[in-house]
C-alpha cells in the first residue's frame, strides 16, 4: 500500500482542527482506556489498518491484556473482561458508527443513558465521530501502519 498524500502537510489547519477535537476528548473526563477501546472498535468496523495498529499499541502501553484486546471485536461475548461502562460504550460506538444501517435506535440511546450522563454521552459520541473521521482520512490517503513500516 502506497501513501497517496500527507494530509497533515497538505491541509495543516484541518489536521490541527481534528487535533483540537482529540485534545478535547482527552480532557473530557472519559477514562482513557475506555476511549482507546472505543477507538479500536470503531477502527475495526471501518477496517482501518493504520488506526488498528495505533490503538492496539496504545492499549498495550496502558497494560491492557492481550486477551481483552483479542476480544474487542466480540466484546458481547467477553464476559467480565469488559466493564459495564466499556460494554455500553462499545455498543454505542457500533450503532453510531453504523448509523446508515442502524439509525441509532431509541433502545440503543436508552441503554447508553443508563450508564452515561448527558455530557459523558455527548463526549463519547464526539470521540466516536472523531475516530470515524480519522479512519476515513487514513484509509482514503493510505496511511501506512507502523507495523508495516517496521517490517
Give me 33's grid cell: 482506556
Q: Are 85 and 31 in contact (CB under 8 A)?
A: yes
The model's confidence at residue 25, banded by pLDDT at 50, 70 and 90, is: very high
- Neighbour-count burial of 124, counting CB atoms closer than 10 A to its CB (0-12 exposed, 13-18 middle, 19+ buried): buried
- d(CA 84, CA 65) in angstroms, rounded, equals 18
Sequence-ordered list of residues with C-beta below 8 angstroms from that of 135, at least 6 positions apart, any chain: 42, 43, 46, 48, 51
Residue percentage of the chain with pLDDT more than 70: 99
The model's confidence at residue 60, banded by pLDDT at 50, 70 and 90, is: very high
Q: Is the dihedral of CA 124, 129, 133, 136 positive or negative?
A: positive
pLDDT of residue 103: 97
Q: Are 78 and 66 in contact (CB under 8 A)?
A: no
Mean per-residue pLDDT, 90-116:
98
Assess whether pLDDT exceeds 90 at residue 2: no
Assess whether pLDDT exceeds 80 at residue 105: yes
- Neighbour-count burial of 20, counting CB atoms closer than 10 A to its CB (0-12 exposed, 13-18 middle, 19+ buried): exposed
Amino acid at each position: 500500500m502506497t501513501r497517496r498524500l500527507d494530509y497533515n502537510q497538505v491541509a495543516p489547519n484541518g489536521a490541527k482542527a481534528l487535533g483540537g477535537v482529540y485534545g478535547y476528548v482527552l480532557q473530557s473526563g472519559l477514562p482513557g482506556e475506555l476511549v482507546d477501546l472505543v477507538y479500536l472498535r470503531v477502527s475495526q468496523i471501518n477496517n482501518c489498518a493504520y488506526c488498528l495498529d495505533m490503538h492496539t499499541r496504545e492499549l498495550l502501553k496502558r497494560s491492557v491484556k492481550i486477551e481483552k484486546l483479542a476480544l474487542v471485536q466480540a466484546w458481547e461475548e467477553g464476559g467480565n473482561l469488559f466493564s459495564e461502562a466499556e460494554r455500553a460504550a462499545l455498543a454505542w460506538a457500533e450503532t453510531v458508527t453504523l448509523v446508515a444501517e442502524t439509525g441509532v435506535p431509541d433502545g440503543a440511546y436508552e441503554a447508553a443513558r443508563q450508564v452515561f450522563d448527558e455530557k459523558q454521552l455527548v463526549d463519547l459520541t464526539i470521540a466516536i465521530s472523531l475516530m470515524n473521521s480519522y479512519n476515513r482520512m487514513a484509509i482514503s490517503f493510505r496511511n501506512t501502519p507502523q507495523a508495516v513500516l517496521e517490517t
